[in-house]
Amino acid sequence: MLRNWNYVSGGIHFWPTFDDKRVAGLLVQQHVTFIAPLGSHKFGVTCVARLRSDYSDSMLVNVKKDEHLYFLLSVDPLGCAEIEQIDPQEAIRRLTTSSLIHTGNISNCDGIGMPYEKADESACFSTVIPKIQSDPSNP
């Protein structure tokens, strides 16, 4: 699950979810990976720490054996956050400029993953401008 480049909301954590449970807290240019069990599961994203349906988006996906799934988390202009499944080539291109945040962690303003209980969830607007300016796909 990859966080998209977004100037709007770029300093606010997005929370990828799996079966309605938070997986990690991501800022722009960050991603989280995990192994999902086979079967039908709900992949989602919210832009608030608590799950609220008016601030989240999700999709049901049937996970198959030996399948790699990639999701892009972006700003929803009419709400908060949205999730879309993307093809492997697009995901691999984006992963080359993205930082891994481990499951159960939230990124601090320096881009370092920390356990939820030890991290500050405040907005990190000071980190957005330099990251967006360094994005090669954002002239």
Best-predicted range by mean pLDDT among 3-12, 21-30, 44-53, 129-138?
21-30
pLDDT, tens digit, 9 for 90 and up, residues 26-77: 988 899 999 999 999 999 998 865 555 557 889 999 999 999 999 999 988 7
CB 100 within 8 A of CB 30: yes
- The stretch 114-129 carries a mean pLDDT of 65
- The stretch 111-131 carries a mean pLDDT of 66
The domains located in the chain, with CATH, are: 2-131 (2.60.34)
> What single string gives the DSSP state of each residue in 63-104?
E-TT----EEEEE-TTSSEEEEE--HHHHHHHHTT-EE--TT
pTM for this predicted structure = 0.82
Whose tokens are 């979810």? That residue is: 17
pLDDT at 63: 97
* Cβ neighbours of 120 (radius 10 Å): 10
CB 11 within 8 A of CB 125: yes
